[in-house]
Structure 1
Amino acid sequence: MTVMVRRFKTADVPAIERLNVRLATAGLPHRVGHEDSRRSEERRLDKESIVQRLYVAAAGEEIRGGIWLREQLFWSAGRSVRVGWTVYPVAESLIDGKAAGVPASLLFSLLRQQPYLMALGMGGHAGPFAKILAAARWAGSSLPFFFHLRHPSRVLRHLAYARTTRLRRTVADCLAASGVAWTANKLLAGVRAAMRGGRARQFTYAVVDRFDSWADEHWERCRDSYGFIAARDSRALNALYPEGFRCLTRLRVQHSGRDVGWICARSINALGTRLERHFGGLRVGILTDGLAQPGDATGVMEAGFRYLVDEDVDLIVTYQSHPAWCAAASDIGLMRGPSNCAFYRSPAVEALLTRAAADNRHCHLTRSDGDGPEPV
Structure 2
Amino acid sequence: MAIEIIPYTEQHTELVKAFNQRLKTGGATYQFPESHIPPALPKIDGRNLFQEYFVAVENGKDVRGAFVLQHQPFSFSDKTVSIAHYDLPISEGFVNKAYSLIGMQLAMNALKRQPYLFSLGIGGFDEPLAQLLQKLGWQLRAVPFYFKVHHPAKFLRNVGSLRTTTPRKFLLDFLALSGCGWIGIKLAHKLAAASRRSTAPVHVEPVARFERWADDLWNACKHLHSMCAVRDSDNLNLLYNSQVRDFIRLKITRGDEVLGWAVLLNTQMSGSKQFGNMRVGTIVDCLALRENTVPVIHFATRHLERAGVDLIVTNRCSPSKPLPRPSISIAGTAAAP
TM-score by length of 2: 0.90
Which residue of 1 is the match for residue 228 of structure 2? 229
Do the aligned partners of 1:54 and 1:69 also contact (CA within 8 Å) in 2?
yes
Do the aligned partners of 1:64 and 1:102 also contact (CA within 8 Å) in 2?
yes
Q: Aligned pair in 2 of structure 1 residues 136, 210: CA closer, same or farther (>3 Å)?
A: same
Query: RMSD of aligned C-alpha atoms?
Result: 2.4
Q: Aligned pair in 2 of structure 1 residues 181, 24: CA closer, same or farther (>3 Å)?
A: closer
Which residue of 2 is the match for residue 314 of structure 1? 310
Superposed displacement of residue 195, structure 1: 1.2
Choose 259-268 or 20-29, whichever is displaced more: 20-29
Do the aligned partners of 1:49 and 1:235 also contact (CA within 8 Å) in 2?
no
Any stretches of 5+ residues in structure 2 without a counterpart? none
In the alignment, residue 169 of structure 1 is paired with which amino acid?
Answer: K
Q: Aligned pair in 2 of structure 1 residues 189, 69: CA closer, same or farther (>3 Å)?
A: same
Q: How does 1:272-291 map to 2 (within 5 A)?
A: 276-291=272-287
Please state if 1:87 is matched with 2:83: no
Superposed displacement of residue 326, structure 1: 8.2
Superposed displacement of residue 187, structure 1: 2.2
**CA distance in 1 between partners of 2:269 and 2:95 (Å):** 31
Q: How does 1:10-25 map to 2 (within 5 A)?
A: 10-25=10-25
Superposed displacement of residue 89, structure 1: 1.0
Which residue of 1 is the match for residue 108 of structure 2? 108
Q: Aligned pair in 2 of structure 1 residues 36, 100: CA closer, same or farther (>3 Å)?
A: closer
Q: The residue matched to 2:189 in structure 1 has which SS?
A: helix
Do the aligned partners of 2:68 and 2:88 also contact (CA within 8 Å) in 1?
yes
**CA distance in 2 between partners of 1:64 and 1:55 (Å):** 11
In the alignment, residue 308 of structure 2 is paired with which amino acid?
Answer: D
Superposed displacement of residue 146, structure 1: 0.9
In the alignment, residue 309 of structure 1 is paired with which amino acid?
Answer: E
Which residue of 1 is the match for residue 122 of structure 2? 122
Do the aligned partners of 1:320 and 1:326 also contact (CA within 8 Å) in 2?
no
Choose 231-240 or 5-14, whichever is displaced more: 5-14
Superposed displacement of residue 38, structure 1: 11
Please state if 1:294 is matched with 2:295: no
Q: The residue matched to 2:231 in structure 1 has which SS?
A: coil
Do the aligned partners of 2:2 and 2:59 also contact (CA within 8 Å) in 1?
no
Which residue of 2 is the match for residue 356 of structure 1? none
Q: Aligned pair in 2 of structure 1 residues 38, 267: CA closer, same or farther (>3 Å)?
A: closer
Identity of aligned residues (%): 29
Choose 234-243 or 315-324, whichever is displaced more: 315-324
Do the aligned partners of 1:144 and 1:326 also contact (CA within 8 Å) in 2?
no
Work out which structure has the larger RCO, using CA pairs closer than 8 Å and 6 or more positions apart in sequence.
Answer: 1
Superposed displacement of residue 103, structure 1: 1.0
Choose 134-143 or 324-333, whichever is displaced more: 324-333
Which residue of 1 is the match for residue 240 of structure 2? 241
In the alignment, residue 285 of structure 1 is paired with which amino acid?
Answer: G
Any stretches of 5+ residues in structure 1 without a counterpart? 339-376
Q: How many residue pairs are counted as aligned between the two chains?
A: 331
**CA distance in 2 between partners of 1:60 and 1:175 (Å):** 57
Which residue of 2 is the match for residue 343 of structure 1? none
Choose 298-307 or 123-132, whichever is displaced more: 123-132
Superposed displacement of residue 191, structure 1: 2.3
Q: How does 1:109-258 map to 2 (within 5 A)?
A: 109-199=109-199, 202-258=201-257
Q: The residue matched to 1:190 in structure 2 has which SS?
A: helix
Q: The residue matched to 1:93 in structure 2 has which SS?
A: helix
Do the aligned partners of 1:50 and 1:71 also contact (CA within 8 Å) in 2?
yes
Which residue of 1 is the match for residue 28 of structure 2? 28
Q: Aligned pair in 2 of structure 1 residues 13, 326: CA closer, same or farther (>3 Å)?
A: farther
